Structure formats: structure tokens, C-alpha cells
Structure 1
């Protein structure tokens, strides 16, 4: 494998492909080492006509096994929060910034513990996300958590500072540092897994904040200013 700074999925991304063509090609991606341990590539799910795209971090354990994004506990939180915010979950396209599950195996037992992807892995996988967004052309993109935000806005992104604020959608061409504007509007929020990780006293507030941020996206879809 190449050095980390040379990780790149671009050679595996077919030009002119539709979403199914991208999905088929992504199954053979070897752009970074994460494919070695993951069960399979987990590509985005939804229709090319979707007006909103939700971008998470990476597949979790259940997503890796089933081959679909957001089908685990965090997906349940997201589906409920979308509905409460006024966005039909069935009308959204869901994907991840990184398409393979990165994990550590517990010394005892078979449990696989999530491990956050690094900037080299995020950058390597960006061509897949850029291709999805170009094909769909959504009005609103929601970045769910720090990894998605860094993939879309660059390494300086901080979810605590930029969540819930309508931002110009950056171009994903080039180095991925958020230079230049693309089409549509971006809204950042926490990843729904952060709700699950919060202690009992903080969980309700974390969930309410997620719904509020998604409500900004819902108002944009209705033609409001957020």
C-alpha cells in the first residue's frame, strides 16, 4: 500500500457512472488500507432525486455486516430525529464520509470497537462522496459529526462552533480544504451516536440539539432562510 499521504480512491471512481455504477465500483475500492479488515464497502443509500443528503462518519459494526448505512442504533436515532424535525427519512439520501468500517478488535471476545478515521483516510475517500454529491445535486447537505464536517469543510472544522448554521456548500474538488463554493447549503450537527454516548442526564439535551439542527435543514428545504 502507498504511504498514508498518498491514499486515494480516485483511480477506482468511474467517470460518467450513475449511483448504481458508483456503488458497484466502490465494492472494489482499494484506495486506503481500511478495506482489508472491513467486511465490505458500505455505500450510500437513497434516490438520486433526493433534496437532502445526510453525511455521517463511517459504517458501524451492523452497517459493515449488512452493507447499508445507518441501520444500527445511531440510524434509529437519526430516523426519529429527522421525522421530528420535519424531514421525511424516506426522502433523504444517507451516506458516510468514509465507506469502510475502521475498528479495533477486543482482546477477548468478538466485539469490534469503532475507531475514528484519520485525515488521510477521510481525504482518500472524499472522491466517492464528491461523486455522490455531484450526481444528486442536493439542496441541503447535513454533516453529521466531526468527520463528516472535516470531509466537507476541511480540517479546521469544529462541530461545536459551526453546528446549526446554514453555510455555503464548498466545492469538493481539489484539496478538500473548503476552498470555493459548490451548490446548495450545508448544515452541520452532531452525529446521532453522540446522543447514545451521552449520559442519561445529558441525553435529552443532546437529542433536542440534534432535532433543532435538523430543523434548520428542514426550513431550508421549505424555502426558508434557516
Structure 2
């Protein structure tokens, strides 16, 4: 069910704390996605994390829980982080888009990829998180995340496995989104993709050290 419209004015000042980001995301009306979402989902983690992980958008479980990466993709991410010796508790985890874009089919809510306009509208919040946390390394998980981080389309296959310099002096690593691995057509392909994913996370953590 769509949420009722709000008369709240748009945010005027860049938030200075992660708490302010979370409150602003919940009140955000920069695009229409808030209407069908349960709530806004801001990032999670320390305000001085060396590593920032950026995904696409909240999924169904994240939308209900109000936390990023708690569904199937999040569980795969947790396993990969553990294998890469990256403590999730020492990373800041967020998404390029903060509301769940989906299509209602009966009782199910089917994921829909955010548009470039959604990513652009939500970049206000991602940029605010980056300015507050000031991570040494940002990992863009998938094409939508890369669009949010770089502000332009980025080919995942051509950009993987190397550090890319960002204007704010942070470095970026581009890799797959965990949900892409879950959709791999067969076990051999899934294993190969997962191995590369773990290596990308390991490289990111080494650079952040």
C-alpha cells in the first residue's frame, strides 16, 4: 500500500552526522520510491570506518527490517567478507538508493532495478555518508552502486581487480553485487564468480589498512 504524502519540506542542509542521515532518508521525498516502501534504509556502521560497501538498494527483507544487507544477498556478503578476513563490523554498509523499488504481484513484491534518475536523486545521501565516514576505500557492489559512487556508468567486468582513484582521495574497487552471484546459471559459474568476489573484497581491505 502506498504511503500517504507528506508536507515536510525538502532537506536544505547537508547532514553532519549519520543519525541525521538516517532521519533524513526516512523523510526523503527526492524521488517517488518512498511512496511504496515501508521505510527508508540508511547505511550501518562506524562513523570512521576505513571501508565502505555500497550496494544497489534495499531488498524486501531490508525494507521490512530497516537495515542494509540482511537478506539472502547479505548472508552471501557476510560469508565472503569472512573468507576475505574483512570484519563487517569495521565496515560501513549502505546502498546507492535508500528505498525499495519493486512491483507488487499479488502478495509478493518483486525487485525492480532503480533507474539512473533514482540513483541521481539519492546520491545526495550517499555523498553525505561518504563525507561523514571518509572511508579510505569504497567497494561498489554492482553497476547501480558504481553509478552512485562514480556518477557515471561503469563496466564491472572491465573495472574489477584494480583500485580506481576518486576525487575525494578515496580509492574504489568495483565488483559484483552478491545477488548477481546468487543468480549464476550453474554451480561452476557461481563458484568462479564467488572466488573473484572474495578476492576483490580482500584487495579492498588490504588497501584500506
Q: TM-score normalised to the size of structure 2?
A: 0.92
CA distance in 2, matches of 1:148, 1:62: 19
Displacement of 1:16 after TM fit?
Answer: 4.8
Could you tell me whether the CA contact under 8 Å between 1:13 and 1:127 is conserved in 2? no
Partner SS, residue 183 of structure 1: coil
Displacement of 1:150 after TM fit?
Answer: 1.0
Do the aligned partners of residues 144 and 183 (structure 1) sit closer, same or farther apart at CA in structure 2, a change above 3 Å counting? same
Segments of 5+ residues of structure 2 without an aligned counterpart are 1-8
Do the aligned partners of residues 188 and 23 (structure 1) sit closer, same or farther apart at CA in structure 2, a change above 3 Å counting? same
Could you tell me whether the CA contact under 8 Å between 2:163 and 2:171 is conserved in 1? yes
Could you tell me whether the CA contact under 8 Å between 1:13 and 1:128 is conserved in 2? no
Which residue of structure 2 lines up, in the alignment, with residue 96 of structure 1?
95
RMSD over aligned CA atoms reads 1.4
Q: Which runs of structure 1 show a deviation greater than 4 angstroms over 4 or more consecutive aligned residues?
A: none
Match of 2:151 among 150, 154, 159: 154
1:211 pairs with 2:198: yes
What is the count of residue pairs matched by the alignment?
A: 200
CA distance in 1, matches of 2:182, 2:163: 25
Do the aligned partners of residues 16 and 35 (structure 1) sit closer, same or farther apart at CA in structure 2, a change above 3 Å counting? closer
CA distance in 2, matches of 1:41, 1:197: 26
Deviations, residues 112-140 of structure 1 (Å, cap 9, x unaligned): 11100011110000010000000000011
Which residue of structure 2 lines up, in the alignment, with residue 141 of structure 1?
138
CA distance in 1, matches of 2:96, 2:107: 26
Q: Which structure 2 residues correspond to residues 1-226 of structure 1 after superposition, within 5 A?
A: 11-12=10-11, 14-106=13-105, 109-169=106-166, 181-201=167-187, 202-222=189-209
CA distance in 1, matches of 2:151, 2:178: 21
Q: TM-score normalised to the size of structure 1?
A: 0.85
Segments of 5+ residues of structure 1 without an aligned counterpart are 1-9, 170-180
Displacement of 1:215 after TM fit?
Answer: 1.4
Displacement of 1:83 after TM fit?
Answer: 1.4
Could you tell me whether the CA contact under 8 Å between 2:15 and 2:128 is conserved in 1? no
Partner SS, residue 168 of structure 2: strand
